[in-house]
Structures are given as structure tokens and as C-alpha cells.
Amino acid sequence: MNNVERIYRERPDAAAFADGYLGYLGEILAQLDRREIARFIDELIEARKRRATVFFLGNGGSAATASHFQNDLTRWRDNPMRIISLTDNVAVLTAIANDHGYEQIFRMQLENLLHSGDIVVAISVSGNSPNVVTAIEYANERGATTVGLTGFDGGRLAELVDIHVHAPTLPGEYGPAEDVHMILDHLVVSFLWEWCAAEAEKLGSGERAPV
């Protein structure tokens, strides 16, 4: 029995369940490695400075999170970040899956787009999705910086990436893990907005901030 199941059994009333679920989510958030979050943010700042591309990928709910990251990280007018979500072109995804196998849907896109020095962010609760693992292995071979956002025990992805932000959850707890990944999206973006505003203020009006 995982914690979500346990909470429901102990608190079958909807309001009581909500209290238990949110309390559990707070426990997971308290365990996140703040240093790894900071490393993730620092890599995004450096990528923006050098005009590198940041790729996001994932399956299912994690695909939606990848899209959300792209949405939130591309809304600067001056010196915007280069962000691509590899989950958003249905024609490309289905063509690769049909012709070459689902495990190739992200790797084959990276083969056409990735350069050394780019960043690849893989979002996978289990950390074991073959298409995600295959993409990260390729990104490592090409000299990209790799980031993993995971749940459960981190899976294979935890062993492969340079930066690992892990939401410690039990098998089957997709909801809490994906909740944490979305919170990370808004945490990272909120910091970057404030950081950029502070840098622009330092430079004074009429000057462009370095990122």
C-alpha cells in the first residue's frame, strides 16, 4: 500500500483526504535537495548566457510538464531562452513511433537538433521509461548537460544525469511526484524572473541584462 492509498483508507471523507494528501505533499517537498535545484537553475542561467538550447521531454503527465516548462521559460522579450519541448509535435512523435519504435521518439529528435553544450531535461516519475533513458544516453554521448526530475526511487535516470532533482515517493504515487515537478517549474521560473529583474535594475535603464 502506498501513502496515497493509506491516506484514503484512514480518511475517506474528501476534506480529510485533502488534508492528508496536502500534508504528505509537504513532507515530500521538505526532502527535496535544494542544492540540486540551485544547480538546475544555475545551468539554465548559463545556457541563456551562451544561447544554448534547453530541451524538455517526458511521457504522459510528464509530457504536459515538459510543455509547461517551455511555456513558462520562453516569455522573456529581451534575450529570451531557447527552449524546446520534444513532446509537442504530434506528427513527428507518431511518425517516429510508427517507423522506428516508441523508444526512439526523443532520441531521433535530438539527433537532428542537439549540440554540445545544450541541456536536456528529462521528466520521468519512474526514471525507467525506455524512450527517456535512450534520449539521455544519447545526450550524454553528445556532450550535453543532462537533468532528471524523478519520483519513486529515481530509476535508471538517476544514474545517468548530471543533475538530479528527486521527489522521494513510493511506487504508484504518480500524483504527488508530478505535483512536485510542477511546483519545481514554478519555483525555477519565479526565481529566474526575479533574478533577471534584479540584474536589469543593476544595469540601469536602457541596458540589457546579461540573461
pLDDT reading at 207 higher than 80:
no
Q: What DSSP element (H or E) covers 139?
A: helix 130-141
3 and 54 fall within a common domain? no
The whole-model pTM stands at 0.93
Q: Is residue 9 part of a domain?
A: yes
pLDDT reading at 206 higher than 60:
no
1 and 39 fall within a common domain? no
Q: What are phi and psi of 65, to 5 degrees?
A: -65, -40
Q: Is residue 191 part of a domain?
A: yes
Q: Is residue 210 part of a domain?
A: no
103 and 128 fall within a common domain? yes
52 and 83 fall within a common domain? yes
**Is 162 exposed, middle or buried, given 0-12, 13-18 or 19+ CB atoms closer than 10 A?**
middle
157 and 189 fall within a common domain? yes
d(CA 27, CA 137): 32
14 and 111 fall within a common domain? no
pLDDT > 70 in the chain, percent: 95
185 and 101 fall within a common domain? yes
User: Which of 171, 165, 137, 131 shows the shortest CA–CA distance to 153?
Assistant: 171
Q: Is residue 163 part of a domain?
A: yes
72 and 8 fall within a common domain? no
44 and 148 fall within a common domain? yes
User: What are the Cα distances from residue 134, in Å, to 55, 67, 96, 131?
Assistant: 14, 20, 14, 5
Q: Is residue 7 part of a domain?
A: yes
pLDDT reading at 209 higher than 60:
no
CATH at 123: 3.40.50.10490
Contact 112, 53 (CB under 8 A): no
Over residues 8-44, the pLDDT tens digits come to 999 999 999 999 999 999 999 999 999 999 999 999 9
57 and 6 fall within a common domain? no
18 and 41 fall within a common domain? no
145 and 196 fall within a common domain? yes
pLDDT reading at 157 higher than 90:
yes
Which stretches within 51-89 are classed as H helix? 61-73
Q: Structurally, how many domains does the chain consist of?
A: 2
Over residues 132-148, the pLDDT tens digits come to 999 999 999 999 999 99
Q: Is residue 209 part of a domain?
A: no
Q: Is residue 47 part of a domain?
A: yes
What is the residue range of 186's domain?
34-203
Assign 199 a pLDDT band (cuts: 50, 70, 90): confident
Question: What is the 8-class DSSP label of residue 43?
Answer: H
Q: Is residue 40 part of a domain?
A: yes
